Amino acid sequence: MRFAPFVLLACVACRGGGSPEDRELGEFRGAYPETEQPTGVVRSFEIVAAPTSLPLVDGKQLEVWAYNGQVPGPTLRIKLGETLRVRFTNKLPQETTIHWHGVRLPNAMDGVPYITQKPVQPDETFVYEFTPKDAGTFWFHPHVRASEQVERGLYGVLVVEDASPPPYSRELVWVVDDWLLKDGAIYPAFNTRHDLAMDGRWGNAITINGRTDTVVKVQPGERLRLRMLNSSNGRVYAPDFGDLDAKLIAVDGLYLREPIAARGFELAPGNRIDVDVTFDKSTTAPFEVVDRFFARRPNTLARFEVEGPLVATPQFASPARGTVPRWSGALSAPIAHTFRLDVQSGGPFGISWTIDGMAFMDHQHAMPPAATLTRGRFVRLRFTNASPRIHPIHIHGMFFRLLARNGQPVDEPFFRDTVLIHAREEVDVGLVPTDAGTWMLHCHILEHAEAGMMTTIDVVEPVP
Ligand code: C2O
Ligand code: CU
- pLDDT tens-digit readout, 151-199: 999 999 999 999 899 999 999 999 999 999 999 999 999 999 999 999 9
> Which residue, among 446, 418, 433, has the nearest Cα to 101 in the 3D structure?
418
> Which residue, among 62, 82, 72, has the nearest Cα to 134 in the 3D structure?
82
The pLDDT value recorded for residue 35 is: 62
Ligand 1 residue neighbourhood (C-beta within 6 Å): 99, 101, 141, 143, 270, 394, 396, 440, 442, 444
401 contacts 327 by C-beta, under 8 angstroms: yes
Gap from CA of 28 to ligand 1 centroid (Å): 24
* Strand order across the beta sheet in which 454-460 lies: 371-374, 454-460, 437-443, 391-395, 418-421
* Strand order across the beta sheet in which 42-56 lies: 60-67, 42-56, 83-90, 125-130
Q: How far is residue 245's CA from residue 223's CA, in Å, rounded to a whole number?
A: 10
pLDDT confidence bin for 36, thresholds 50/70/90: low
Q: Are strands 215-218 and 223-230 parallel, antiparallel or unpaired?
A: unpaired
- pLDDT tens-digit readout, 269-292: 999 999 999 998 777 788 999 999
- pLDDT tens-digit readout, 95-145: 999 999 999 999 999 999 999 999 999 999 999 999 999 999 999 999 999
pLDDT confidence bin for 294, thresholds 50/70/90: very high
pLDDT confidence bin for 31, thresholds 50/70/90: low
CA 328 to chain centre: 26
User: Is the alpha carbon torsion for 371, 443, 270, 106 positive or negative?
Assistant: negative
Nearest-CA residue for ligand 1 atom 3 is 101
Peptide bond preceding 72: is omega within 30 degrees of 0, i.e. cis? yes
Gap from CA of 416 to ligand 1 centroid (Å): 13
Residues with Cβ within 8 Å of residue 349, at least 6 apart in sequence: 191, 193, 196, 450, 451
Nearest-CA residue for ligand 1 atom 1 is 101
Gap from CA of 249 to ligand 1 centroid (Å): 23
Q: Which residues surround ligand 2, an ion (CB under 5 A)?
A: 391, 443, 445, 448
Residue 11 has pLDDT above 60, yes or no: no
- pLDDT tens-digit readout, 365-424: 678 999 999 998 999 999 999 999 999 999 999 999 999 999 999 999 999 999 999 999
pLDDT confidence bin for 26, thresholds 50/70/90: low
CA 298 to chain centre: 23
Q: Which atom of ligand 1 is nearest to the CA of 269?
A: 1
What is the total residue count of the chain?
464
Report the 3 state secondary structure along the chain.
CCCCCHHHHCCCCCCCCCCHHHHHHHHHHHCCCCCCCCCCCEEEEEEEEEEEEEEEECCEEEEEEEECCECCCCCEEEECCCEEEEEEEECCCCCECCEEECCCCCHHHCCCECCCECCECCCCEEEEEECCCCCEEEEEECCCCHHHHCCCCCCEEEEEECCCCCCCCEEEEEEEEEECEECCEECCCCCCHHHHHCCCCCCCEEEECCECCCEEEECCCCEEEEEEEECCCCCCECEECCCCEEEEEEECCEEEEEEEECCCCCECCCCEEEEEEECCCCCCCCEEEEECCCCCCCEEEEEEEECCCCCCCCCCCCCCCCCCCCCCCHHHCCEEEEEEEEEEECCCCCEEEEECCECCCCCCCCCCCCEEEECCCCEEEEEEECCCCCEEEEECCCCEEEEEECCEECCCCCCECEEEECCCCEEEEEECCCCCEEEEEEECCHHHHHCCCEEEEEEECCCC
Please name every residue paired with 300 in a beta bridge, in sequence order, or none if there are none: 290
Gap from CA of 79 to ligand 1 centroid (Å): 23
Q: Which atom of ligand 1 is nearest to the CA of 440?
A: 2
Gap from CA of 320 to ligand 1 centroid (Å): 25
Q: In order of start, what are the domains of the chain with their CATH numbers?
A: 20-30+325-460 (2.60.40.420), 42-161 (2.60.40.420), 170-306 (2.60.40.420)
Looking at the whole model, is its pTM more than 0.85?
yes
